[in-house]
């Protein structure tokens, strides 16, 4: 129920002007990306249901829409990015669907899935600013070519953060509990 409420709040934030506190609590405009991940987890853990699949579809469409609206902040808002952003997001969503259905050509070991999952939050934290810094300093390469070093540096930094700060911080937090 909480996930549907969060999705509803995200829709309201997208469609109507809301007080800053509502947008802050809904993690607007990034909330739908987290909501998609939550729905994928619920479908994986508890199986698909019309409610979960419907919520996933609505959250995915909202995430794509908001990403297109936000692309000027992280990539040039041109015709190419208007196609690239939704296609990349749909490709990731498709990959996640294949993963939770066990339909990949190779099985992803749990340890690999956990390691990749551990990168998501540090990557979320660092990719924007690091991307801006690197992207602005690269030569006038085609947009897609510029994304390669940006993604590599962001992934490496996320890995370092995950292995150092997050792992040790989690242990300290677990001990405190």
Token pair of 6, please?
């969060």
Digit-coded pLDDT (tens) for 136-163:
888 888 877 888 898 899 999 998 988 8
Q: Are 122 and 95 in contact (CB under 8 A)?
A: no
Residue 64: CB atoms within 10 A of its CB come to: 20
3-class secondary-structure state, position 37: helix
pLDDT (tens digit, 0 to 9) for every residue of the chain, 177 residues total? 899 999 999 999 999 999 999 999 999 999 999 999 999 989 988 999 999 999 999 999 999 999 888 877 666 677 777 888 889 899 999 988 988 888 876 777 778 877 877 888 888 888 878 887 888 888 888 877 888 898 899 999 998 988 888 778 878 878 887
Contact 44, 31 (CB under 8 A): no
Q: What is the pLDDT of residue 128?
A: 78
Contact in structure between 132 and 146 (CB atoms under 8 Å): no
Helices (H), the chain: 2-15, 20-25, 31-46, 50-70, 79-101, 110-137, 143-161, 167-176
What is the spatial distance between Cα 110 and Cα 146, in angstroms, rounded to a whole number?
A: 32
pLDDT score recorded for residue 146 = 82
Q: Which two tokens stand for residue 112?
A: 């690999």
C-alpha span between 49 and 53 (Å, rounded)? 6
């Amino acid at each position: 129920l909480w996930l549907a409420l969060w999705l509803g709040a995200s829709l309201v934030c997208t469609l109507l002007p809301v007080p800053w506190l509502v947008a802050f609590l809904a993690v607007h405009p990034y909330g739908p990306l987290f909501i998609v991940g939550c729905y994928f987890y619920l479908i994986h853990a508890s199986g698909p249901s019309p409610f979960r699949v419907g919520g996933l579809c609505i959250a995915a469409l909202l995430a794509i829409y908001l990403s297109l609206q936000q692309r000027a902040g992280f990539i040039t808002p041109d015709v190419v990015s208007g196609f690239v952003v939704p296609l990349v997001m749909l490709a990731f969503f498709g990959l996640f669907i294949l993963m939770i259905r066990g339909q990949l050509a190779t099985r992803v070991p749990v340890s690999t899935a956990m390691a990749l999952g551990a990168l998501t939050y540090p990557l979320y934290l660092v990719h924007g600013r690091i991307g801006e810094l690197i992207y602005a300093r690269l030569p006038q390469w085609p947009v897609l070519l510029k994304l390669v070093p940006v993604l590599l540096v962001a992934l490496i930094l996320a890995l370092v953060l995950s292995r150092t700060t997050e792992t040790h911080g989690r242990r300290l937090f677990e001990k405190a509990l």
